[in-house]
Chain A
Protein backbone atom coordinates (compact mmCIF):
# COMPACT_ATOMS: atom_id res chain seq x y z
CA UNK A 1 0.00 0.00 0.00
CA UNK A 2 1.50 3.29 -1.02
CA UNK A 3 0.93 6.35 1.10
CA UNK A 4 -0.96 9.20 -0.58
CA UNK A 5 1.12 12.19 -1.67
CA UNK A 6 0.32 15.11 0.51
CA UNK A 7 1.04 18.75 -0.11
CA UNK A 8 1.66 21.09 2.77
CA UNK A 9 -0.35 24.28 2.46
CA UNK A 10 2.76 26.51 2.70
CA UNK A 11 4.92 24.43 0.38
CA UNK A 12 6.88 26.21 -2.32
CA UNK A 13 9.03 24.86 -5.13
CA UNK A 14 11.90 26.18 -7.22
CA UNK A 15 11.21 26.80 -10.90
CA UNK A 16 14.16 27.23 -13.19
CA UNK A 17 13.44 29.48 -16.17
CA UNK A 18 16.19 29.24 -18.73
CA UNK A 19 19.05 29.54 -19.51
CA UNK A 20 17.52 28.15 -22.70
CA UNK A 21 13.98 29.43 -22.72
CA UNK A 22 12.02 31.11 -25.50
CA UNK A 23 10.66 33.82 -23.19
CA UNK A 24 14.11 35.13 -22.30
CA UNK A 25 15.16 35.59 -25.97
CA UNK A 26 18.68 34.53 -25.26
CA UNK A 27 20.61 32.74 -22.57
CA UNK A 28 19.28 34.21 -19.36
CA UNK A 29 18.34 32.18 -16.33
CA UNK A 30 15.87 33.11 -13.62
CA UNK A 31 15.50 31.02 -10.50
CA UNK A 32 12.01 31.43 -9.12
CA UNK A 33 10.59 30.24 -5.86
CA UNK A 34 6.97 29.50 -6.62
CA UNK A 35 3.86 29.18 -4.54
CA UNK A 36 1.63 27.52 -7.12
CA UNK A 37 1.40 29.98 -9.98
CA UNK A 38 2.66 32.88 -7.88
CA UNK A 39 6.27 34.00 -7.59
CA UNK A 40 7.50 34.24 -4.00
CA UNK A 41 11.06 35.25 -4.81
CA UNK A 42 13.14 35.42 -7.90
CA UNK A 43 16.85 35.54 -8.61
CA UNK A 44 18.26 36.42 -12.01
CA UNK A 45 21.44 34.63 -13.05
CA UNK A 46 23.51 36.40 -15.68
CA UNK A 47 26.76 35.77 -17.44
CA UNK A 48 26.04 32.92 -19.82
CA UNK A 49 27.41 34.86 -22.77
CA UNK A 50 29.80 37.12 -20.96
CA UNK A 51 32.74 37.87 -23.29
CA UNK A 52 34.69 40.47 -21.28
CA UNK A 53 34.36 43.27 -23.80
CA UNK A 54 35.87 45.64 -21.22
CA UNK A 55 39.13 43.71 -21.16
CA UNK A 56 39.21 43.77 -24.95
CA UNK A 57 38.87 47.53 -24.70
CA UNK A 58 42.11 47.62 -22.74
CA UNK A 59 44.21 45.53 -25.09
CA UNK A 60 43.10 46.98 -28.41
CA UNK A 61 43.56 50.46 -29.83
CA UNK A 62 40.48 52.66 -29.93
CA UNK A 63 39.98 52.03 -33.64
CA UNK A 64 40.45 48.29 -33.29
CA UNK A 65 37.76 48.31 -30.64
CA UNK A 66 35.12 49.82 -32.97
CA UNK A 67 33.62 46.49 -34.15
CA UNK A 68 33.19 45.29 -30.54
CA UNK A 69 30.53 47.87 -29.83
CA UNK A 70 28.09 46.41 -32.34
CA UNK A 71 28.45 42.99 -30.73
CA UNK A 72 26.79 44.24 -27.57
CA UNK A 73 23.28 44.84 -28.81
CA UNK A 74 22.68 43.09 -32.11
CA UNK A 75 19.29 44.75 -32.61
CA UNK A 76 20.27 48.38 -32.16
CA UNK A 77 24.00 48.32 -32.73
CA UNK A 78 24.41 51.76 -34.28
CA UNK A 79 23.43 53.53 -31.07
CA UNK A 80 26.30 51.86 -29.25
CA UNK A 81 28.93 52.59 -31.89
CA UNK A 82 27.65 56.17 -31.88
CA UNK A 83 28.37 56.41 -28.16
CA UNK A 84 31.89 55.11 -28.63
CA UNK A 85 32.87 57.48 -31.44
CA UNK A 86 31.32 60.42 -29.58
CA UNK A 87 33.32 59.57 -26.47
CA UNK A 88 36.59 59.47 -28.41
CA UNK A 89 35.77 62.63 -30.33
CA UNK A 90 34.90 64.42 -27.11
CA UNK A 91 38.13 63.41 -25.42
CA UNK A 92 40.41 63.95 -28.41
CA UNK A 93 38.67 67.16 -29.47
CA UNK A 94 37.84 66.02 -33.01
CA UNK A 95 35.31 68.16 -34.89
CA UNK A 96 32.86 66.12 -36.94
CA UNK A 97 31.44 67.56 -40.19
CA UNK A 98 27.75 68.38 -39.98
CA UNK A 99 26.81 66.05 -42.81
CA UNK A 100 28.36 63.12 -40.98
CA UNK A 101 26.43 63.90 -37.80
CA UNK A 102 23.17 64.15 -39.75
CA UNK A 103 23.79 60.81 -41.40
CA UNK A 104 24.64 59.33 -38.01
CA UNK A 105 21.37 60.59 -36.56
CA UNK A 106 19.36 59.28 -39.53
CA UNK A 107 20.93 55.82 -39.40
CA UNK A 108 20.69 55.58 -35.61
CA UNK A 109 17.00 56.40 -35.78
CA UNK A 110 16.42 53.87 -38.56
CA UNK A 111 18.17 51.33 -36.37
CA UNK A 112 15.99 52.32 -33.43
CA UNK A 113 12.86 51.70 -35.49
CA UNK A 114 14.24 48.32 -36.60
CA UNK A 115 15.00 47.41 -32.99
CA UNK A 116 11.58 48.43 -31.73
CA UNK A 117 9.92 46.57 -34.61
CA UNK A 118 11.65 43.34 -33.73
CA UNK A 119 10.86 43.85 -30.07
CA UNK A 120 7.20 44.47 -30.96
CA UNK A 121 6.96 41.24 -32.93
CA UNK A 122 8.74 39.16 -30.33
CA UNK A 123 6.76 40.69 -27.48
CA UNK A 124 3.41 39.94 -29.09
CA UNK A 125 4.66 36.43 -29.83
CA UNK A 126 5.49 35.98 -26.14
CA UNK A 127 1.86 36.76 -25.45
CA UNK A 128 0.68 34.20 -27.97
CA UNK A 129 0.11 36.19 -31.17
CA UNK A 130 2.31 34.89 -33.95
CA UNK A 131 1.47 36.90 -37.08
CA UNK A 132 2.50 40.42 -35.91
CA UNK A 133 6.09 39.18 -35.83
CA UNK A 134 5.89 38.39 -39.53
CA UNK A 135 4.60 41.89 -40.35
CA UNK A 136 7.25 43.47 -38.14
CA UNK A 137 10.07 41.49 -39.72
CA UNK A 138 8.84 42.49 -43.16
CA UNK A 139 9.01 46.18 -42.26
CA UNK A 140 12.36 45.72 -40.55
CA UNK A 141 13.72 44.06 -43.65
CA UNK A 142 13.42 47.36 -45.54
CA UNK A 143 15.58 49.07 -42.92
CA UNK A 144 18.15 46.29 -42.90
CA UNK A 145 18.41 46.43 -46.70
CA UNK A 146 18.93 50.20 -46.59
CA UNK A 147 21.57 49.98 -43.88
CA UNK A 148 23.27 47.04 -45.56
CA UNK A 149 23.71 49.07 -48.72
CA UNK A 150 25.55 51.90 -46.96
CA UNK A 151 27.24 50.15 -44.04
CA UNK A 152 27.99 46.75 -45.53
CA UNK A 153 26.42 44.88 -42.62
CA UNK A 154 22.92 43.88 -41.66
CA UNK A 155 23.25 43.83 -37.89
CA UNK A 156 26.80 44.21 -36.64
CA UNK A 157 27.56 47.58 -38.16
CA UNK A 158 30.94 49.23 -38.03
CA UNK A 159 29.94 52.33 -39.93
CA UNK A 160 31.09 55.29 -37.87
CA UNK A 161 34.70 56.36 -37.68
CA UNK A 162 36.37 58.83 -35.34
CA UNK A 163 35.70 62.12 -37.10
CA UNK A 164 33.04 60.92 -39.50
CA UNK A 165 31.80 57.95 -41.46
CA UNK A 166 33.19 55.10 -43.46
CA UNK A 167 30.93 55.68 -46.43
CA UNK A 168 28.64 58.44 -47.68
CA UNK A 169 24.97 57.73 -48.31
CA UNK A 170 23.80 57.81 -51.92
CA UNK A 171 20.60 58.79 -53.70
CA UNK A 172 19.35 55.22 -53.54
CA UNK A 173 19.48 55.32 -49.75
CA UNK A 174 17.68 58.67 -49.59
CA UNK A 175 15.01 57.44 -52.02
CA UNK A 176 14.54 54.22 -50.07
CA UNK A 177 14.30 56.10 -46.76
CA UNK A 178 11.75 58.50 -48.22
CA UNK A 179 9.68 55.59 -49.50
CA UNK A 180 9.98 53.83 -46.17
CA UNK A 181 8.55 56.61 -43.98
CA UNK A 182 4.96 56.61 -45.36
CA UNK A 183 5.04 52.83 -45.53
CA UNK A 184 6.03 52.59 -41.88
CA UNK A 185 3.38 55.11 -40.83
CA UNK A 186 0.77 52.94 -42.51
CA UNK A 187 2.16 49.91 -40.71
CA UNK A 188 2.01 51.65 -37.34
CA UNK A 189 -1.71 52.28 -37.92
CA UNK A 190 -2.08 48.63 -38.84
CA UNK A 191 -0.32 47.53 -35.65
CA UNK A 192 -2.51 49.78 -33.55
CA UNK A 193 -5.62 48.24 -35.10
CA UNK A 194 -4.29 44.68 -35.05
CA UNK A 195 -2.63 44.54 -31.64
CA UNK A 196 -3.02 47.58 -29.40
CA UNK A 197 -6.80 47.45 -29.48
CA UNK A 198 -6.98 43.71 -28.95
CA UNK A 199 -8.91 42.95 -25.78
CA UNK A 200 -6.81 39.91 -24.83
CA UNK A 201 -3.64 41.92 -25.32
CA UNK A 202 -4.98 44.72 -23.12
CA UNK A 203 -6.05 42.33 -20.38
CA UNK A 204 -2.59 40.78 -20.31
CA UNK A 205 -0.82 44.11 -19.92
CA UNK A 206 -2.97 46.80 -18.36
CA UNK A 207 -2.31 47.29 -14.68
CA UNK A 208 0.17 44.41 -14.72
CA UNK A 209 3.73 44.66 -13.39
CA UNK A 210 3.77 48.17 -11.93
CA UNK A 211 7.24 49.75 -11.74
CA UNK A 212 7.22 52.96 -9.75
CA UNK A 213 9.32 55.98 -10.66
CA UNK A 214 11.11 55.61 -7.32
CA UNK A 215 12.05 52.02 -8.15
CA UNK A 216 13.41 53.20 -11.50
CA UNK A 217 15.59 55.73 -9.71
CA UNK A 218 16.96 53.26 -7.18
CA UNK A 219 17.87 50.81 -9.92
CA UNK A 220 18.92 53.34 -12.53
CA UNK A 221 16.33 52.24 -15.09
CA UNK A 222 16.31 54.34 -18.24
CA UNK A 223 14.80 54.32 -21.69
CA UNK A 224 11.25 53.13 -22.37
CA UNK A 225 11.10 51.41 -18.96
CA UNK A 226 11.58 54.74 -17.16
CA UNK A 227 9.36 56.61 -19.63
CA UNK A 228 6.59 54.09 -19.04
CA UNK A 229 6.80 55.01 -15.34
CA UNK A 230 6.15 58.69 -15.92
CA UNK A 231 9.79 59.79 -16.02
CA UNK A 232 10.44 62.28 -18.78
CA UNK A 233 14.00 61.24 -19.42
CA UNK A 234 15.64 60.82 -22.79
CA UNK A 235 19.35 61.50 -23.16
CA UNK A 236 18.69 63.03 -26.59
CA UNK A 237 16.66 65.77 -24.84
CA UNK A 238 18.11 65.91 -21.33
CA UNK A 239 21.75 65.88 -22.33
CA UNK A 240 21.68 66.76 -26.04
CA UNK A 241 24.46 65.38 -28.19
CA UNK A 242 25.16 65.10 -31.91
CA UNK A 243 22.62 67.13 -33.98
CA UNK A 244 19.55 66.14 -31.95
CA UNK A 245 18.87 69.73 -30.80
CA UNK A 246 18.20 70.57 -34.47
CA UNK A 247 15.26 68.17 -34.66
CA UNK A 248 11.72 68.73 -33.57
CA UNK A 249 10.53 65.56 -31.83
CA UNK A 250 8.64 64.58 -28.71
CA UNK A 251 9.50 62.16 -25.94
CA UNK A 252 6.51 59.89 -25.28
CA UNK A 253 5.87 59.47 -21.56
CA UNK A 254 3.16 57.35 -19.96
CA UNK A 255 2.25 57.48 -16.30
CA UNK A 256 0.50 54.13 -15.87
CA UNK A 257 3.76 52.35 -14.90
CA UNK A 258 2.41 49.03 -16.25
CA UNK A 259 3.52 46.75 -19.08
CA UNK A 260 1.06 48.48 -21.42
CA UNK A 261 2.72 51.84 -20.75
CA UNK A 262 6.12 50.45 -21.75
CA UNK A 263 4.56 48.99 -24.89
CA UNK A 264 2.95 52.30 -25.81
CA UNK A 265 6.16 54.25 -25.25
CA UNK A 266 8.00 52.16 -27.81
CA UNK A 267 5.18 52.26 -30.33
CA UNK A 268 5.06 56.07 -30.07
CA UNK A 269 8.83 56.31 -30.25
CA UNK A 270 8.84 54.73 -33.69
CA UNK A 271 6.71 57.61 -34.98
CA UNK A 272 9.06 60.13 -33.34
CA UNK A 273 12.07 58.42 -34.94
CA UNK A 274 10.35 58.66 -38.32
CA UNK A 275 9.94 62.40 -37.72
CA UNK A 276 13.66 62.72 -37.01
CA UNK A 277 14.55 60.75 -40.14
CA UNK A 278 12.19 62.88 -42.21
CA UNK A 279 13.69 66.14 -40.92
CA UNK A 280 17.19 64.78 -41.23
CA UNK A 281 16.72 63.91 -44.89
CA UNK A 282 15.19 67.33 -45.52
CA UNK A 283 17.95 69.29 -43.78
CA UNK A 284 20.82 67.04 -44.84
CA UNK A 285 23.72 69.40 -45.58
CA UNK A 286 26.36 68.76 -48.22
CA UNK A 287 30.07 68.69 -47.59
CA UNK A 288 32.61 66.16 -46.40
CA UNK A 289 31.76 63.14 -44.27
CA UNK A 290 35.14 62.94 -42.59
CA UNK A 291 37.03 65.43 -40.45
CA UNK A 292 40.07 66.82 -42.23
CA UNK A 293 42.32 67.26 -39.23
CA UNK A 294 42.31 63.88 -37.65
CA UNK A 295 45.34 62.12 -36.19
CA UNK A 296 45.97 58.75 -37.76
CA UNK A 297 46.73 57.02 -34.49
CA UNK A 298 44.42 58.31 -31.85
CA UNK A 299 45.83 58.88 -28.40
CA UNK A 300 43.64 60.47 -25.77
CA UNK A 301 44.90 62.94 -23.20
CA UNK A 302 45.32 61.66 -19.66
CA UNK A 303 42.00 61.73 -17.87
CA UNK A 304 38.60 60.25 -17.34
CA UNK A 305 35.88 60.74 -19.97
CA UNK A 306 32.22 59.80 -20.02
CA UNK A 307 29.69 59.83 -22.82
CA UNK A 308 26.03 58.87 -22.60
CA UNK A 309 23.73 58.25 -25.55
CA UNK A 310 20.11 57.17 -25.86
CA UNK A 311 19.97 53.76 -27.49
CA UNK A 312 16.82 51.83 -28.28
CA UNK A 313 16.96 50.31 -24.79
CA UNK A 314 17.92 53.34 -22.73
CA UNK A 315 20.91 55.33 -21.62
CA UNK A 316 24.14 53.69 -22.73
CA UNK A 317 27.28 55.10 -21.18
CA UNK A 318 30.91 54.61 -21.96
CA UNK A 319 33.69 55.63 -19.58
CA UNK A 320 37.24 55.81 -20.83
CA UNK A 321 40.10 56.20 -18.36
CA UNK A 322 43.15 57.15 -20.39
CA UNK A 323 46.79 57.21 -19.37
CA UNK A 324 47.78 58.88 -22.63
CA UNK A 325 48.48 55.65 -24.49
CA UNK A 326 46.86 54.41 -27.70
CA UNK A 327 44.84 51.90 -25.70
CA UNK A 328 42.39 52.72 -22.96
CA UNK A 329 43.67 52.16 -19.43
CA UNK A 330 40.14 51.22 -18.43
CA UNK A 331 37.01 51.11 -20.53
CA UNK A 332 33.65 50.70 -18.85
CA UNK A 333 30.41 50.01 -20.70
CA UNK A 334 27.24 50.95 -18.88
CA UNK A 335 24.49 48.96 -20.50
CA UNK A 336 20.86 50.00 -20.11
CA UNK A 337 19.20 46.56 -19.99
CA UNK A 338 21.52 45.55 -17.16
CA UNK A 339 19.94 48.17 -14.92
CA UNK A 340 16.46 47.65 -16.39
CA UNK A 341 16.57 43.90 -15.76
CA UNK A 342 17.92 44.36 -12.25
CA UNK A 343 14.61 45.64 -10.99
CA UNK A 344 12.84 42.51 -12.26
CA UNK A 345 13.63 40.47 -9.13
CA UNK A 346 12.05 42.99 -6.82
CA UNK A 347 9.15 43.92 -9.08
CA UNK A 348 7.97 40.39 -9.87
CA UNK A 349 7.48 39.28 -6.27
CA UNK A 350 3.90 38.12 -5.80
CA UNK A 351 3.22 38.18 -9.52
CA UNK A 352 1.67 35.39 -11.57
CA UNK A 353 4.31 33.61 -13.63
CA UNK A 354 2.61 34.42 -16.93
CA UNK A 355 2.43 38.10 -16.00
CA UNK A 356 6.11 38.02 -15.04
CA UNK A 357 7.06 36.62 -18.44
CA UNK A 358 5.02 39.36 -20.14
CA UNK A 359 6.78 41.86 -17.86
CA UNK A 360 10.16 40.46 -18.88
CA UNK A 361 9.17 40.95 -22.51
CA UNK A 362 8.18 44.54 -21.83
CA UNK A 363 11.71 45.24 -20.54
CA UNK A 364 13.11 44.59 -24.04
CA UNK A 365 16.07 42.45 -23.08
CA UNK A 366 19.04 41.80 -25.31
CA UNK A 367 21.20 39.36 -23.40
CA UNK A 368 24.63 39.95 -25.03
CA UNK A 369 24.23 43.59 -24.11
CA UNK A 370 23.58 42.73 -20.46
CA UNK A 371 26.39 40.23 -20.17
CA UNK A 372 28.90 42.15 -22.28
Chain B
Protein backbone atom coordinates (compact mmCIF):
# COMPACT_ATOMS: atom_id res chain seq x y z
CA UNK B 1 0.00 0.00 0.00
CA UNK B 2 2.61 2.51 1.14
CA UNK B 3 4.75 1.25 -1.71
CA UNK B 4 2.29 2.51 -4.34
CA UNK B 5 1.61 5.87 -2.68
CA UNK B 6 5.31 6.55 -2.17
CA UNK B 7 6.08 5.56 -5.72
CA UNK B 8 3.39 7.90 -7.04
CA UNK B 9 4.58 10.76 -4.85
CA UNK B 10 8.18 10.34 -5.98
CA UNK B 11 7.11 9.88 -9.59
CA UNK B 12 5.44 13.27 -9.45
CA UNK B 13 8.92 14.84 -9.18
CA UNK B 14 9.64 13.74 -12.70
CA UNK B 15 6.69 15.28 -14.48
CA UNK B 16 7.38 15.46 -18.18
CA UNK B 17 10.08 12.80 -18.24
CA UNK B 18 9.43 9.26 -19.39
CA UNK B 19 7.94 7.21 -16.55
CA UNK B 20 10.22 4.32 -15.66
CA UNK B 21 8.72 0.84 -15.63
CA UNK B 22 9.70 -2.12 -13.49
CA UNK B 23 12.49 -3.17 -15.82
CA UNK B 24 16.08 -3.24 -14.66
CA UNK B 25 17.89 0.03 -15.19
CA UNK B 26 19.71 0.57 -18.42
CA UNK B 27 23.24 1.90 -18.12
CA UNK B 28 23.63 4.75 -17.75
CA UNK B 29 20.24 5.15 -16.15
CA UNK B 30 18.46 8.47 -16.16
CA UNK B 31 16.68 10.09 -13.27
CA UNK B 32 13.43 8.42 -12.32
CA UNK B 33 11.78 5.87 -10.03
CA UNK B 34 12.29 2.14 -10.45
CA UNK B 35 10.71 -0.72 -8.57
CA UNK B 36 13.22 -3.38 -7.63
CA UNK B 37 12.82 -7.05 -6.86
CA UNK B 38 13.04 -7.13 -3.07
CA UNK B 39 14.13 -10.77 -3.03
CA UNK B 40 17.27 -9.99 -5.00
CA UNK B 41 18.12 -6.43 -4.11
CA UNK B 42 16.73 -6.04 -0.62
CA UNK B 43 14.78 -2.86 -1.30
CA UNK B 44 11.59 -1.94 -3.08
CA UNK B 45 11.93 1.52 -4.60
CA UNK B 46 14.99 3.01 -6.20
CA UNK B 47 14.74 6.67 -7.12
CA UNK B 48 17.51 8.58 -8.82
CA UNK B 49 17.00 12.31 -8.50
CA UNK B 50 18.89 15.44 -9.48
CA UNK B 51 20.71 17.15 -6.61
CA UNK B 52 18.19 20.00 -6.58
CA UNK B 53 15.27 17.54 -6.28
CA UNK B 54 16.80 15.86 -3.25
CA UNK B 55 15.12 17.92 -0.55
CA UNK B 56 11.73 17.48 -2.21
CA UNK B 57 12.17 13.71 -2.40
CA UNK B 58 13.34 13.43 1.22
CA UNK B 59 10.46 15.62 2.38
CA UNK B 60 8.03 13.20 0.75
CA UNK B 61 9.55 10.32 2.72
CA UNK B 62 9.63 12.32 5.94
CA UNK B 63 5.94 13.13 5.65
CA UNK B 64 5.15 9.50 4.90
CA UNK B 65 6.79 8.47 8.20
CA UNK B 66 9.98 6.84 6.99
CA UNK B 67 13.05 6.69 9.22
CA UNK B 68 16.57 7.32 7.97
CA UNK B 69 18.70 4.22 7.72
CA UNK B 70 21.99 5.53 6.36
CA UNK B 71 23.73 7.77 3.86
CA UNK B 72 26.75 6.78 1.87
CA UNK B 73 28.65 7.54 -1.30
CA UNK B 74 30.08 5.70 -4.26
CA UNK B 75 32.97 6.98 -6.37
CA UNK B 76 32.27 6.26 -10.06
CA UNK B 77 35.67 7.30 -11.30
CA UNK B 78 35.19 6.02 -14.86
CA UNK B 79 32.06 8.08 -15.36
CA UNK B 80 33.72 10.97 -13.51
CA UNK B 81 30.76 11.09 -11.14
CA UNK B 82 30.10 10.80 -7.43
CA UNK B 83 26.94 9.11 -6.19
CA UNK B 84 25.27 9.76 -2.85
CA UNK B 85 22.89 7.04 -1.65
CA UNK B 86 20.22 7.60 0.99
CA UNK B 87 18.44 4.64 2.59
CA UNK B 88 15.04 4.91 4.17
CA UNK B 89 12.86 2.32 5.84
CA UNK B 90 9.73 2.04 7.94
CA UNK B 91 8.93 0.99 11.50
CA UNK B 92 5.59 -0.61 10.63
CA UNK B 93 4.71 -3.91 9.00
CA UNK B 94 3.96 -2.32 5.64
CA UNK B 95 7.55 -3.02 4.63
CA UNK B 96 8.95 -0.59 2.13
CA UNK B 97 12.60 0.21 1.71
CA UNK B 98 13.35 3.25 -0.40
CA UNK B 99 16.71 4.18 -1.86
CA UNK B 100 17.24 7.75 -3.06
CA UNK B 101 20.37 8.34 -5.09
CA UNK B 102 21.81 11.36 -6.73
CA UNK B 103 24.85 11.82 -8.95
CA UNK B 104 27.08 14.88 -8.99
CA UNK B 105 30.20 15.74 -10.99
CA UNK B 106 33.31 14.23 -9.42
CA UNK B 107 35.32 17.46 -9.43
CA UNK B 108 32.51 19.44 -7.81
CA UNK B 109 30.66 17.08 -5.48
CA UNK B 110 28.11 19.27 -3.74
CA UNK B 111 24.65 18.19 -2.59
CA UNK B 112 22.28 19.96 -0.20
CA UNK B 113 22.21 18.72 3.39
CA UNK B 114 19.12 16.86 4.55
CA UNK B 115 20.02 17.29 8.23
CA UNK B 116 17.42 20.05 8.32
CA UNK B 117 14.77 17.39 7.68
CA UNK B 118 16.33 14.39 9.40
CA UNK B 119 18.53 15.41 12.32
CA UNK B 120 20.12 11.98 12.17
CA UNK B 121 21.60 12.74 8.75
CA UNK B 122 24.19 14.92 10.46
CA UNK B 123 26.73 12.20 11.29
CA UNK B 124 26.05 10.23 8.12
CA UNK B 125 26.83 13.29 6.02
CA UNK B 126 29.96 14.05 8.00
CA UNK B 127 31.09 10.46 7.50
CA UNK B 128 30.39 10.63 3.76
CA UNK B 129 32.37 13.88 3.62
CA UNK B 130 35.24 12.14 5.46
CA UNK B 131 35.39 9.24 3.07
CA UNK B 132 34.61 10.90 -0.27
CA UNK B 133 35.05 14.63 0.14
CA UNK B 134 31.44 15.19 -0.87
CA UNK B 135 30.28 18.58 0.40
CA UNK B 136 26.85 18.92 1.97
CA UNK B 137 25.76 22.50 1.44
CA UNK B 138 24.17 23.95 4.55
CA UNK B 139 25.51 21.31 6.93
CA UNK B 140 25.97 22.89 10.38
CA UNK B 141 29.26 21.22 11.31
CA UNK B 142 31.01 19.52 8.39
CA UNK B 143 34.26 18.54 10.14
CA UNK B 144 35.87 15.07 10.23
CA UNK B 145 33.92 12.59 12.33
CA UNK B 146 35.63 9.23 12.04
CA UNK B 147 38.92 10.39 10.56
CA UNK B 148 41.44 12.44 12.58
CA UNK B 149 40.39 16.04 13.12
CA UNK B 150 43.14 17.35 10.81
CA UNK B 151 42.51 14.81 8.02
CA UNK B 152 42.68 16.27 4.53
CA UNK B 153 42.38 12.97 2.63
CA UNK B 154 39.38 10.93 1.52
CA UNK B 155 40.21 7.21 1.73
CA UNK B 156 37.29 5.78 -0.23
CA UNK B 157 38.10 7.68 -3.39
CA UNK B 158 39.21 5.21 -6.01
CA UNK B 159 42.37 7.20 -6.76
CA UNK B 160 43.35 7.43 -3.09
CA UNK B 161 46.90 6.28 -2.38
CA UNK B 162 47.86 5.60 1.20
Please give the residue numbers on chain A whose beta carbons come within 8 Å of chain B beta carbons, in ascending order. Answer: 46-47, 50, 52, 54-55, 58, 87, 90-91, 93, 216-221, 226, 231-233, 237-239, 303-308, 315, 317, 319, 321, 329-330, 332, 334, 338-339, 342-343, 346, 371-372
Establish whether residues A238 and B95, one from each chain, have CB atoms under 8 Å apart when the complex forms: yes
Give chain A residues whose Cβ lies under 8 Å from the Cβ of B68.
218-220, 339
* B116 → A minimal CB distance (Å): 11
Establish whether residues A54 and B120, one from each chain, have CB atoms under 8 Å apart when the complex forms: no
Give chain A residues whose Cβ lies under 8 Å from the Cβ of B66.
217
- Can you list 26 A-B contacts (CB < 8 A)? A54-B131, A58-B156, A87-B42, A90-B39, A90-B40, A217-B65, A217-B67, A219-B118, A219-B119, A219-B120, A231-B91, A232-B91, A238-B92, A239-B95, A304-B41, A304-B99, A305-B40, A306-B97, A307-B42, A308-B69, A319-B87, A330-B72, A339-B70, A342-B123, A343-B120, A371-B146
Give chain A residues whose Cβ lies under 8 Å from the Cβ of B74.
321, 329-330
- Which residues of B, 133-154, contact A by the 8 Å Cβ criterion? 144-148
Establish whether residues A306 and B87, one from each chain, have CB atoms under 8 Å apart when the complex forms: yes
Please give the residue numbers on chain B whose beta carbons come within 8 Å of chain A beta carbons, in ascending order. Answer: 39-43, 46, 65-70, 72, 74-75, 85, 87, 89-93, 95, 97, 99, 118-120, 122-123, 131, 144-148, 155-156
* B45 → A minimal CB distance (Å): 12
Establish whether residues B122 and A317, one from each chain, have CB atoms under 8 Å apart when the complex forms: no
Give 9 nearest A-B pairs by CB, closest first. A219-B120, A306-B42, A47-B146, A334-B70, A233-B91, A50-B146, A332-B72, A217-B67, A220-B68
Establish whether residues B120 and A317, one from each chain, have CB atoms under 8 Å apart when the complex forms: no
Give chain A residues whose Cβ lies under 8 Å from the Cβ of B43.
306
Establish whether residues A308 and B156, one from each chain, have CB atoms under 8 Å apart when the complex forms: no
- A317-B70 contact given A47-B146, A218-B118, A371-B146, CB 8 Å threshold: yes
The number of inter-chain residue pairs (CB within 8 angstroms) is 107
**Minimal Cβ-Cβ distance residue in A for B97:** A306
DSSP class of A's interface residues: helix, strand, loop or mixed?
Answer: mixed
Establish whether residues B95 and A46, one from each chain, have CB atoms under 8 Å apart when the complex forms: no
Give chain B residues whose Cβ lies under 8 Å from the Cβ of A47.
144-148
- A216-B41 contact given A47-B146, A232-B91, CB 8 Å threshold: no
* B127 → A minimal CB distance (Å): 8
- A334-B120 contact given A305-B40, A307-B42, A319-B85, CB 8 Å threshold: no
Establish whether residues A317 and B72, one from each chain, have CB atoms under 8 Å apart when the complex forms: no
* B120 → A minimal CB distance (Å): 3
* B96 → A minimal CB distance (Å): 10
Establish whether residues B67 and A54, one from each chain, have CB atoms under 8 Å apart when the complex forms: no
